[in-house]
């Protein structure tokens, strides 16, 4: 028997290939290097190399299962940026926490590769495999401090709820497969153009929506986020609050805009409900938190609510505003977590009392990131929100924007409470910091981008 299998064109998948092979090699190199910092720098280098390959990777490959287009390129850029910044902030931190394992860096790389596969998936099988590659790596990352019970607890909670959500996703996918006879996202969209919605279609859609709402931590599927964010090592929390969320949005954008495009009337009302509920839950529950990582978990839930507006809007402006918001969120959120890591004791909100007197520079950085997360000009957070809400107003969702702005005003309370603690309260204890060059670099990049985007929005818009 002579089977003629054409060799697939590897160019569109080059960034993923670079990342996955480097991660595998790093697993081996881990044995030879006593100083794990080498692996960290290797990871940053690999991310930079992959970033170099990203812009020239447009095209379809692997029998049409993998599609690299402008949309996925933007997301891959965010994932790689997230990877680089995470490695920069974790170098010193993992040493301090006595959890310096070489696997840490290769798992970060594997998780990023999974996210990139999700953004590029044109077939539901690839999508599922990318999702699991990301999820399984992040479960381990959450539990990497294996002698810390809180880290273990975060990992097991994340694993149980993540496994549950992927089972729900798979049931939705199996229904879709039964209905359409294919797993290709574009063929599914063709099928739905001729076939209206029916009960099984709506069920499949609801299952898939629920599963991805788990991934982006949207209410009512957000319960895992606060516990996992609090228990996981801070650098992993920073990674998780951006990467899997962005990947979830990449898939939501792709599935809803391509596969379910002709069923818009069915899914828009559901997403509007989820978005409003997410903003409400995230912003209101964040108010009572005393742990800053937990507070930022609720804040990230609230931000997922804002970003969902970009999907609901249904125009290309909406989607691009969502991507811009994700990019800005990467900088400001990563910056806030970098400050938390910089402080020796910075997990509780009361640790920030009087920080401006003992560490004025650190307090100043935190102030900027908190202002940006609130959305106060001239920081990037304002531009992101403005851009997103503008797209929604233009598409006729002014009432949704009013609700979002109201919840955004609520968010000022808990973000500015940290600022108030830093500047207006008396110092209880002298705060100490452990600076490191890479952490300083990460802080410099994030603060610079927060201001640069805030002052010159044309950098990211358009």
Partner 1 sequence: MVPLSWYIGLSAIVFVIGMIGFIVRRNIIIMLMSIELMLNSVNISLVAFSHYLQDFRGQVFVIFIITVAAAEAAIGLAILVALFKNKSAVHTDEIMEMKG
Options 72, 86, 90, 183; binder of partner 1; rule CB under 8 A: 183
**Alpha carbon distance 380, 375 (integer Å):** 8
164 near partner 1, rule: CB under 8 A: yes
State which of residues 11, 69, 101, 163 lies at the interface with partner 1 (CB under 8 A).
163
Stretch that binds partner 1, among 28-36, 223-231, 305-313, 356-364 (CB under 8 A): 223-231
Is 143 near partner 1 (CB under 8 A)?
A: yes
Q: Does 175 bind partner 1 (CB under 8 A)?
A: yes
> What is the number of alpha carbons within 13 Å of residue 229 lying toward its C-beta?
27
CA distance 46 to 33: 17
Interaction of residue 102 with partner 1, rule CB under 8 A: no
d(CA 169, CA 275) in angstroms, rounded, equals 20
**Is 347 a residue that touches partner 1 (CB under 8 A)?**
no
Q: Which is nearer to partner 1, 85 or 211 (CB)?
A: 211
Q: Which of 322, 304, 300, 303 is nearest to 313 (CA)?
A: 322
Binds partner 1 by CB under 8 A, chosen from 95, 150, 357, 417 = 150
Piece in contact with partner 1 (CB under 8 A), picked from 180-188, 268-276, 305-313, 429-437: 180-188
Does 289 bind partner 1 (CB under 8 A)? Our answer is yes
List the one residue from 54, 111, 136, 255 that touches partner 1 (CB under 8 A): 136
Asked whether position 193 contacts partner 1 by CB under 8 A, the answer is: no
Phi, psi of 57 (to 5 degrees): -110, 25
- Residues 88 and 441: beta-carbon distance below 8 Å: yes
**Where does this chain touch partner 1 (CB under 8 A) — which range of 101-109, 214-222, 273-281, 285-293?**
285-293
Q: Which is nearer to partner 1, 55 or 178 (CB)?
A: 178
- Work out whether 140 is an interface residue with partner 1 (CB under 8 A): yes
Among 114, 226, 243, 244, which residue interacts with partner 1 (rule: CB under 8 A)?
226
Which of 152, 197, 262, 358 binds partner 1 (CB under 8 A)? It is 152
Nearest residue (CB) to partner 1, 177 versus 451: 177
Among 135-143, 299-307, 325-333, 377-385, which window interacts with partner 1 (CB under 8 A)? 135-143
Of 167, 361, 402, 444, the one binding partner 1 (CB under 8 A) is: 167
Here the tokens at position 315 are: 């125009």
Among 230, 317, 351, 353, binds partner 1 (CB under 8 A): 230
Report, in Å, the least distance between residue 44 CB and partner 1. 26
Tell me how far apart the alpha carbons of residues 312 and 249 are, in angstroms, rounded to a whole number. Answer: 12
Stretch that binds partner 1, among 19-27, 288-296, 350-358, 422-430 (CB under 8 A): 288-296
Q: Which stretch binds partner 1 (CB under 8 A): 146-154, 359-367, 385-393, 404-412?
A: 146-154
Q: Whole-number minimum distance, CB 311 to partner 1, in Å? A: 26
For residue 220, state whether it binds partner 1 (rule: CB under 8 A). no
Q: How far apart are CA 217 and CA 161, in angstroms?
A: 11
Q: Is 350 in the site for partner 1 (CB under 8 A)?
A: no
In the complex, which residues of this chain contact partner 1 (CB under 8 A)? 124-125, 128-129, 132, 136, 139-140, 143, 146-150, 152-156, 159-160, 163-164, 167-168, 170-171, 173-175, 177-178, 181-183, 226-227, 230-231, 288-289, 291, 294
């Amino acid at each position: 028997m002579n089977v003629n299998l054409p060799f697939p064109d590897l160019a569109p998948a080059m960034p993923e290939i670079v990342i996955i092979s480097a991660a595998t090699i790093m697993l081996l190199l881990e044995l030879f290097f006593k100083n794990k910092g080498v692996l960290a720098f290797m990871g940053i280098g690999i991310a930079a190399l992959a970033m170099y390959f990203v812009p020239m990777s447009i095209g379809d490959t692997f029998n049409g299962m993998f599609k690299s287009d402008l949309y996925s390129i933007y997301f891959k850029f965010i994932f790689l940026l997230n990877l680089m910044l995470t490695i920069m902030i974790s170098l010193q931190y993992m040493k301090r926490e006595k959890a310096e394992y070489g696997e840490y860096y290769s798992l970060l790389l594997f998780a990023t590769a999974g996210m990139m596969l999700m953004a590029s998936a044109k077939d539901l099988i690839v999508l599922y495999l990318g999702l699991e590659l990301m999820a399984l790596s992040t479960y381990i990352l959450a539990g990497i401090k294996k002698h810390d019970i809180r880290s273990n607890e975060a990992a097991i909670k994340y694993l149980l709820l993540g496994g549950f959500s992927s089972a729900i996703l798979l049931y939705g996918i199996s229904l879709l497969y039964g209905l359409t006879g294919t797993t290709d996202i574009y063929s599914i969209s063709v099928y739905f153009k001729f076939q209206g919605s029916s009960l099984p279609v709506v069920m499949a859609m609801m299952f898939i929506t629920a599963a991805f709402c788990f991934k982006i931590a949207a209410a009512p599927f957000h319960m895992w986020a606060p516990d996992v964010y609090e228990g996981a090592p801070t650098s992993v929390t920073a990674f998780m609050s951006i990467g899997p969320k962005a990947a979830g949005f990449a898939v939501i954008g792709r599935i809803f805009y391509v596969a379910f495009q002709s069923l818009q009337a069915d899914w828009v009302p559901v997403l509007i409900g989820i978005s409003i509920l997410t903003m409400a839950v995230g912003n209101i529950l964040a108010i009572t938190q005393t742990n800053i990582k937990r507070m930022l978990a609720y804040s990230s839930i609230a931000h997922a609510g804002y970003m969902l507006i970009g999907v609901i809007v249904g125009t290309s402006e909406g989607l691009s505003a969502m991507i811009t918001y994700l990019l800005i969120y990467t900088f400001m959120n990563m910056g806030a977590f970098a400050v938390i890591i910089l402080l020796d004791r910075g997990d509780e909100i009361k640790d920030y009392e009087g920080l401006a007197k003992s560490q004025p520079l650190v307090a100043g950085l935190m102030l900027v990131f908190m202002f940006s997360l609130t959305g106060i000009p001239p920081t990037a957070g304002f531009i992101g929100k403005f851009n997103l809400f503008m797209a929604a107003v233009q598409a006729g969702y002014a009432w949704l924007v009013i609700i979002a702005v109201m919840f955004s005003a609520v968010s000022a309370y808990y973000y500015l409470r940290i600022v108030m603690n830093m500047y207006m309260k008396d110092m209880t204890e002298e705060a100490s910091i452990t600076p490191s060059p890479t952490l300083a670099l990460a802080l410099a990049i994030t603060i610079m981008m927060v201001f640069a985007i805030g002052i010159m929005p044309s950098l990211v818009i358009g």
